[in-house]
Structure 1
């Protein structure tokens, strides 16, 4: 009896066309590469293969290759993504994959950008203020009290949200006055924290978000949420509630009257 034989499966490897930005602070250009792609690989694998076979001096920042360090942020076909979490299988085999550095930040070399802007903004956010009379290590919170802000702790600081936010992406002049979605989210997280005693120490987090960190620049297009690799609902769960609290404080007639009375007494 003849046993039927299955037809051979097509090769899982293929040759892809890549365009990678090469250059430094003085300028650069897109360079074309033809590179082998194997089943299951991600864009970072291909960048490493280009380094190994065609461009050993290609600069790229990466660390964990597991989507948890946020180091390998770049733009793939114009969309901010993590190189290590973008599978080649999402692109048609005949599509040219273009990899460029984050557009909102200055280029150092090739795919590496200077993201020090973000660390400067982080230092501007007042830290958690411990509650008075409670010793370190003695803080107690119920799960229900931290559920709203716990989501924000998943942030890996890849700065993709900062890069895609058009307030800084398209308007360099806004950077001095605007902290960006990642750090406005940090303000919101602290403002929601059940033990943060910032108010007792004279810090109004909602007001400072509006007056000092540029919350008013955000027009809630949700582009930051769309690129977050951790799925954090930055706009809906952090920025919009923070805007609501800032507006309540600024326009609440009772607050306005209290401020007026307080000034008269002084």
Structure 2
């Protein structure tokens, strides 16, 4: 096994501010960035705050920005960097810093609560739901999400415009709306809930300009833009501008 010394720059600080601190730390063959952060804690910076759990790319806890790119530290191998490269590790930029590499991601949980849940079909008991396999596979892709919030962090609507946060759910939760909207058993419409309308008016679908930056950073390789956001936009536009739908709404309003 070979080892070498790598140059790291790690952001240290809290809600009052902070900056990058330089470290030289040993790297062994096969290690990932999270291993190096743990070694820093053990040998040089015992008070370094970092959030992690599974170290297997499934909990989404160790999200950070590595050389400016949102990544999971546990899934970023040291072998992708040259030995001479200075590796910079900073907290997620889109969210407030708590301390060091730990950020306050409660924004995302607030947005999750704003998305109405699955509405069970009437007259069908749990365990009796039946779906075509193709429909199962369509939604299964979105259920691979580990909620690392890298897509939320890299989305420039959130990242570069703090003022957009109240009106924009972000790609992770627009993907959730899309999943429910295409679910063949979701009875939201029967309950008076129009998911396409709420996607536009309450979750900020119109803010998304499909740059695919969210898809590029997804560690589960979910095609967020192509398979969720673009189809949802198409369905929402069809719903809003379809002349037959417009006429039906006009007639309904007159009758009421």
TM-score by length of 2: 0.99
- 1:8-87 equivalences under 5 Å are 12-87=2-77
In structure 1, the residue corresponding to 2:143 is in which secondary structure? helix
Q: Give the length in aligned residue pairs.
A: 256
User: Counterparts of 1:209 and 1:261 in 2: how far apart (Å)?
Assistant: 24
**Which structure 2 residues correspond to residues 211-230 of structure 1 after superposition, within 5 A?**
211-230=201-220
C-alpha displacement at 1:12, in angstroms?
A: 1.7
RMSD (CA atoms): 0.7
Structure 2 gaps, min length 5: none
Aligned-pair CA distance for 1:137: 1.6
Deviation at 1:142, TM superposition (A): 2.2
Q: Does 2:122 correspond to 1:132?
A: yes
Any stretches of 5+ residues in structure 1 without a counterpart? 1-10
- Name which one, 1 or 2, has greater alpha-carbon Rg: 1
Give a deviation string over 1:1-25, Cα, whole Å, max 9, x none: xxxxxxxxxx721000000000000
Deviation at 1:138, TM superposition (A): 1.4
Residue aligned with 2:45, SS: coil
List structure 1 runs of 4+ shifted beyond 4 angstroms.
Answer: none
Q: Secondary structure at the match of 1:50?
A: helix
The answer to whether 1:108 aligns with 2:108 is no
- TM-score normalised by length of structure 1: 0.95
Does the 8 A contact of 1:21 with 1:28 survive in 2? yes
User: Per-residue CA shift, 1:136-186, capped at 9, x if unaligned?
Assistant: 221122212222221001000000000000001000000000000000000
Q: Distance in 2 between matches of 1:30 and 1:180?
A: 28
Contact kept, 8 Å, 1:17 with 1:95, in 2: the verdict is yes
State the alpha-carbon separation in 2 of the partners of residues 198 and 262 from structure 1.
19
**Aligned partner (choices 170, 175, 193) of residue 185 of structure 1:** 175
Contact kept? 1:185, 1:238, Cα under 8 Å: yes
Distance in 2 (CA, whole Å) between partners of 1:44 and 1:211 is 40
Partner of 2:143: 153
Contact 1:146-1:194 within 8 A present in 2 as well:
no
Deviations 1:175-214 (A, max 9, x none): 0000000000000001111110001001111111011000
Q: Deviations over 1:234-253 (max 9, x none)?
A: 00000000000000010000
Q: Which of 219, 238, 246 matches 1:248?
A: 238
Superposed displacement of residue 132, structure 1 = 0.0
Counterpart-to-counterpart distance in 2, 1:264 and 1:186 = 34
Question: Which SS does the other structure have where 2:23 is aligned?
Answer: strand
Q: Distance in 2 between matches of 1:226 and 1:178?
A: 20
SS in structure 2 opposite 1:154? coil
